[in-house]
Amino acid sequence: MNERYKDYVRLLLMGIGFFLLETAVLPMLPFAWGKPNLLLLFVAAVGFYVGLLPGMLTAVILGAMADALFSPLLGPWIMIYLTVAWIFIKIRESEWEAEKIYLAGIMGLVTVLTYLMMAFLLFFFGYQYQWVTEILPFAATEAVANMGLWIVLLWLFPKVIREAGKDYMSALR
């Protein structure tokens, strides 16, 4: 098997592991400060550390899995994860030497952006919800949780994610 495909399989297995953690383990744990969105963090990390094609493939696959479980229609999470992957791919391509705290702030803003996108899509398709009680509290707490975990992910796990997609660039040359 080609090394590039082995790397894609490793990334896919890591993504499925994050998906299982998000859907099976995290709902059983009590969180005082908000439940993080591990799929969002993983898609952003793959886009940031590995690159365009793996980031987009990861976003589509995990988005389809999230849509199958969490969404009343197919497509919102795919669009949201594609947007998140694209944002972090552009940050990577710009070669912006940012402090890690700025990247954590960007992750918080991206998390709030995902809630705004989901709220717009639900409104567009005619679903009724209360903005102040159903959207804003969860967006704020999840943004804080994602910012904290993004800092941990930036410091502890870049090598793991880079190793999973290590031959991506060499396979394209």
Q: 2-17 pLDDT, tens per residue?
A: 667 777 788 888 889 9
Q: 154: burial class by Cβ within 10 Å (0-12, 13-18, 19+)?
A: middle
pLDDT tens string, the chain, 173 residues long: the values are 566 777 778 888 888 998 999 888 887 877 666 678 888 889 988 888 888 888 899 999 999 999 898 877 788 889 989 999 998 888 888 876 666 667 778 888 888 888 888 778 777 777 776 666 666 777 778 888 888 888 777 776 666 665 655 544 433 33
What pTM, to 2 d.p., does this model score?
Answer: 0.79
The residue behind tokens 């930036």 is 154
Residue-by-residue DSSP string for 108-131: HHHHHHHHHHHHHHHHHTT----I
pLDDT (0 to 100) of residue 170: 38
Contacts of 135 (CB under 8 A, 6+ apart): 115, 119, 129
Q: Which two tokens stand for residue 172?
A: 């394209």
pLDDT (0 to 100) of residue 99: 64
